[in-house]
Chain A
Amino acid sequence: MKISFFQFLKDIFKELLSNKINFLFMCLALTISLIALNTIYSLGLSAKKQVLDALASVQFGKDAMLIIAGGGRIIGLTTTRTDTLKLEDVEEIKKLDFVTLASPMSRGTLEVSYKDFAEKLRVEGVFPNYTIANNWYPKIGRFINENDLKSMTKVCVLGADIPERLNTKNIIGEKIKIAGETFEVIGVLESKPSFGHFRRDESVIIPFTTAQRRVFNKDYIDAVKLLFREGTDMKMAENKIREILRKRHNLFGIAPDDFRIITPDLAISVFTKTMRTINVFLLAIALISLIISGVIIMNLMYANIEEKAPIIALRIALGASSKKIIEHYLIMSLFIAIISGIAGWILSLFLMEIISFFTPLKPIFSWWIFLLSFLFASFTGISFTLIPAIRASQIDPAILLKSL
């Protein structure tokens, strides 16, 4: 049995090699569309991974939550009052046993000036635990401490990109103006990835108390970042917090929330949504190209079968059943699929490397893509060879003698 099968495969492979051009074109057609498919799929995975990594790097990978003042859609303008979220609400939320850290903040966009530089930047008033809540630490100087909060000192910590914008090498100790008030620079934060339009590295951080009393003049907060105990049920956490806030804000019945709860999952889906749409579109194109390559294979397979008709007739005359002939050509297409699957996979890895030179996307290695490449190659190869193979099995062996 084993020798038979080995000989059978050998015969198929030799037949395939007997027309190298035909063989090459079949592999080429399939390989090219597989490169497209694999690359697009990897780029999608890579982009998603990048978002996940970025979120994780700002302590928003999991077991975290952001509550923003003002109700409405996740992205877009608020549709309710935005002055209802208070420090007292945060105190209440802190009492929940799964909340390990709460870091409230207020923020606004204010004019920041230094020498001949003047621009509107995002200014955040925060607590010292902001560093832990966002996994964001100063690379030089220090961060805001309890003392700054108590004394409402006018100090600030700058985002990583700002010193360069201010065109100053030694920024620590310099005085900058925020909304007309003079602040001393005490530190510069390390660089962090940005999401959407908000450039995190262009933020100015000041003590919470200073912000409330001397800059914004308000008694409400704009957001609070929460960290949870590992493995907290997010749905449960969200419901409990919503319940507390609605009760404290006197919202009943159908009154909409005057706050927004952002979970890591929600953030991922928001940041990957556009990407996903584009990706689905590109994948559809790749799949169409796969169908085209399938049609090319079908054509070339037909040509091959026409060319090999006397040999197929001979095989039938020698006792090959229809099943055996169909098997023969399906295995042949499987050979093509395996070769193209490997080639398409390897070449797509190269293509990813090249793409990573020109875009921020990093190449990613995944056996899943290898498997995907094989599955699609085999599926395309076999399904488009089925009809030519059945046609081959119906060749009339009588043609062997009719040629006389």
Chain B
Amino acid sequence: MVKKLVILKGITKTYYTGRIAYQVLRGIDLEVEEGEFLAIMGVSGSGKSTLLNIIGLLDKPDYGTYILDGQEVSKLSKKELAYIRNRKIGFVFQAFHLVPWATALENVLMPLLYRGNLKKEDEERALQFLTRLGLEKRINAKPSELSGGEQQRVAIARALITKPKLLLADEPTGNLDSKSSQEVMKIFKELNKNGLTIIMVTHDPEIAKFAQRIKIIKDGIFVEE
């Protein structure tokens, strides 16, 4: 039997703006197996980003249980969550979120910096990743000197440097042209083939097609597969 990497049960999340409450997630159940490539689709305001925040341990659910890699994580402290994020999860964002003053190489190494044991080998590994993603000539470039596609590839290298179990992608092609989008999705496909579990949020059906499984979220609940 394949191991389940992510198990969500009855996840709810409510936001308050003043006195008005928005129930963004209304009982999400989700199981993701190791090695799966899942796309979560939904229109804007459907709660998909909130769900990704919770899966990525950037936010905590109000109710429900979340078991990540066999560990109940919904009640952990901020510090413990930071630790798990650093070791088990890689993030790829729509806006890339690279540090503007750091070079491509420095950006890739950033997650290791916060582990406090950056080694010479890590730098070589980062170079390998960048080379594999076709950025060998851009290692000392600042994000502002890179194209969108290149920036996203740097961000992917940064997500992979920690050898995560789970890659979370939030509209990874949202800011890219179609050629770069195709490239990024090919990289994802490749990574998934090598065993990496990927959960991707998107509203673009073309992009979602790259995934093995698609789940649609509407008004804070999954509707159909």
Residues in A lying within 8 Å of B, measured CB to CB: 1, 3-4, 7-8, 10-11, 14-15, 17-18, 310-311, 314-322, 324, 396-398, 400-404
Contacts and interface: CB of A to CB of B under 8 A. Distances in A.
A171 to B, nearest CB: 76
Interface in B56-99: 56, 58-59, 78-79, 82-83, 85-87, 91, 93-95, 97, 99
Contacts of A396: 58-59
Contacts of A10: 106
A310 B94 CA distance: 13
Contacts of B149: none
B171 interface: yes
B5 interface: no
Given A1-B116, A7-B109, A8-B113, A401 B53 contact: yes
Interface stretch (B117-125, B184-192, B206-214): B117-125
B101 A322 contact: no
A17, A310, A317, A402: residue with the most chain B Cβ atoms closer than 10 Å: A317
A401 B93 contact: yes
Contact of A401 (B78, B82, B170): B170
Interface residues of B, number: 43
Nearest to B85: A319
B102 A14 contact: yes
Nearest to A311: B99
Given A3-B118, A4-B118, A317 B113 contact: no
Contacts of A400: 58, 91, 93, 95, 97
A317 B100 contact: no
23 contacts: A1-B117, A3-B123, A7-B109, A7-B113, A8-B113, A10-B106, A11-B102, A14-B102, A311-B97, A311-B99, A311-B100, A316-B82, A318-B86, A319-B85, A321-B114, A322-B79, A324-B114, A400-B93, A401-B49, A401-B93, A401-B170, A402-B53, A404-B171
B95 A403 contact: yes
B58 A397 contact: yes
Contact of B110 (A15, A318, A397, A404): A318
B119 A15 contact: no
Given A324-B114, A400-B97, A319 B59 contact: no
Contacts of B79: 321-322
A324 B94 CA distance: 26
B101 A17 contact: yes
A320 B97 contact: no
Contacts, number: 95
A55 to B, nearest CB: 58
B115 interface: yes
B82 A321 contact: yes
B178 interface: no
Contact of A310 (B53, B56, B97, B113): B97
A83 B83 CA distance: 88
A317 B118 contact: no
Contacts of B53: 398, 401-402
A7 B58 contact: no
A404 B82 contact: no
Contacts of B94: 404
Nearest to A7: B113
Contacts of B112: 4
Contact of B117 (A4, A11, A17): A4
Contacts of A321: 79, 82-83, 114
B14 interface: no
Nearest to B59: A398
Contacts of B44: 404
A404 B114 contact: no
Given A398-B59, A404-B170, A317 B85 contact: yes
Nearest to B98: A314
B83 A319 contact: yes
Contacts of B170: 401, 404
Contacts of B117: 1, 4
A315 B100 contact: no
The 5 closest A-B pairs by CB, nearest first: A319-B86, A14-B101, A4-B118, A320-B114, A397-B58
Contacts of A402: 49, 53
Contacts of B116: 1, 4
Contacts of A324: 114
A401 B202 CA distance: 12
A318 B109 contact: no
Interface string B11-45: 00000000000000000000000000000000010
A18 B144 CA distance: 13
A398 B51 CA distance: 11
Contact of A318 (B95, B101, B102, B114): B114
B111 interface: yes
B52 interface: yes
A314 B99 contact: yes
A404 B113 CA distance: 28
A7 B100 contact: no
B91 A317 contact: yes
Contacts of A320: 82, 114
A206 to B, nearest CB: 81
Contacts of A317: 56, 58, 85, 91
A219 B31 CA distance: 115
Contacts of B119: 3
